[in-house]
Structure 1
Amino acid sequence: MYSSCQVANATPPSSKLQSPFQEQAKIYTGLGGADENGQCVCKVFLPDTSFPGDKVELLQKTSMELSQKVELGLSKLELHKSKLVIYAQKMAQLAMRVEIMQGQAAQHTELEFELLRIELQQMMTLITQLKQSVNSSSPIFDTLYVEIRNMTLVVNRLERYDKNNLLVMQHEFTKLQKKLEECQKWHEESSKPNIGFCNHAGISNISKPYIVQLNAHINEGYLHGGWGKDSKPKPGFEEMYWYSGYTTPYTYNLYLYSDYTNLLLRNQFKYFDNTLKGNGINNIMHGNYYYYNCYNTGNLCRMNATTFEVETRVFPDAAWNNRFSYSSATYQDFDFAADENGLWVIYATEASKGNMVLSKMNVDGFSAQQTWVTNVFRRSVSNAFMVCGVLYATRQMNLYTEEVFYKFDTKTGKESYISIPFNKQYEVFVYLDYNPADQRLYMYSKGYYIYYNVKFEMI
């Protein structure tokens, strides 16, 4: 037992300290002594007793940020890897399509090439974006970019090849089309006589119906009317068209159009609305005169389209007031017709017992020049027209087929039954007239303008 305090160096019982900071700590003993109670007291001094917690916190934060960046980088790599797989599949599909198109370039359209070029451009843009996002000059991206660019060049070359083929084909088609047009023109010229001449043996057939459009009133309720061209136009009015129509079988108006385009546009340059008054609608424009049946009489009327003057001629023997009208329309007591030989009127009389009577008109004197009586009952006829001095009559075969069944030649006085069927767009028509100026038949049916091309039998 010691009675006094000793000063000595002290060391911990273990040579291994608990922390790196304790390794640098040394225990020093200094002056010692006994306290008031006789106990031995020693003073120990450490160089630094504070623990660096702030440094540990910073280290942990830095470690966590690095860990997050690593995880984000790994996720990006996984995403880029999946994108590369998708792009590789797309590249394979595009390569296959280009290969197919290389073998069949001429069979593809310009649109197909354009769509393929767009897809390649999209691929190139995606590869560029992927490369920028990775911020790398990896040879993989460089290779993909080069392959897409080369594929685009191939597509452009194929398209030029395709366009060249299309141009060649188009050129050949144009040449063929021109030859066909020349052949058709030759055929039409060889099968169609000169306008105004009658160097043929009569009508051989009638074309299909050509529907122009609904009437100027734009109303199917205007069932009664007629249209066409002036059959003997004045100089400067060769392309003029006319139209007259109403809801009942009476004449109340007349519209004139400078040409076919204005007819379609319904842009008349002159019109007479509710200034005319006549029966029936089988009227005609001939030599700048509009010919029609005077209202509620058996007389003929004509109006000068320039001066608006109206002349009247009496036909004392003609039956009127719907006595012997056509089977297709009512109040068609007089049917005006024109051909290469001039102006005609088709009607019936009590003396002819309702059979058709034909009169050649003297235009200058507005009177009947010569008359022929036929053996065809007028009510059995749906309509009639004149071509080169020959009267042709039609009748209904079925709902949509009409037939030219009869003709009467005024030069020989001979009549005969024939059969030239032609189609109708609608069941009933009220107007049918031949125009020698263009060798067409003009029909008015259910409010529509319709025409036919007439073909002739060559001598």
Structure 2
Amino acid sequence: MKLYVIVPLWALITATQQAPTQENCQCEFISSEKIFPHDKLRSVQSSVSDCNSNVTPQMTFGMESLLLGLDRRLPQLEEDVAMLEEENDGEMYGVLSLYVIENELTEILQLIDQLNSTSLKHKRLIADITQKLEEVKDEMEELEQFDTMQVVKGQQTNQRLKRDLDQCRNNVLHPIPQPTQPKSLCPFGRFLNISEPRVFTAGEYPGSYKYGAWGRDPNPEVGKEDWHWLVPMTSANRLANYVRLYSTLSSLIVGVSTPGNVLIHPSNPTTNTIQGPNNVLYGGALYYNCYNQDTVCRFNMTTKTITTVQLPKGT
């Protein structure tokens, strides 16, 4: 049984080894498109990198530093020369002054030489970079020919569309038309921008007194919570001698004084009458600047009595 199995296997192996081998298949692919010049692209990238590394803000900073130094040295040299002309004694002082001026002039000449050399380097660098940019531009135009999928053109189109869209949003090229107003019977058109109503009143003394004070007692006596007060400057736009009371704010607006005036003194002005519009009614008493004094008067509206407080010097 074992011999019967081994013989066919040996025959199969022998037959397999004697079978002829197949030949290798080789295909040649010829592209209709040009081979992309990767070396040229790397060269362009290298040129751009060189331009970015050569042009730095430090170049401008160095030139500005030299100009600033020269701008400060020249006025100093002029001052030293003028001082020498005025105070030259023909002896040691004049010699020392000339030596100082000579040193300053030497430093100025050195700055000028540095400026000239730096400016010359910048001009050469600008010329070199300009030439490189022209070469990069030409090479990029050649590389765009390999853009068979038109990716670059698509990006340029997208940028242009985005720019046009921004301009449209800003109403630069295509302003938003204003809605047309419907026709109306009024020959002057419709009312526009109507705001909330505002009411103005001339008060009880229209045009008579330009200055004064008014308000409501924040700490009123019982039963006088709605009372308002008015102190018009009845003399010289800065003097007064009475307080006018109103039962409500509406009464103050329309000029109906109830209960009326509370007289501080019959004369205006006199001692302890009101000077200036800086008045306030608090707790049933009027506080104000006493006439022609550096004191504060307190006039009790109920008892009609006056107390004073001396202000500190300089207030």
TM-score of the aligned structures, taking structure 1 as reference length: 0.19
* Higher-helix-fraction structure: 2
TM-score of the aligned structures, taking structure 2 as reference length: 0.26
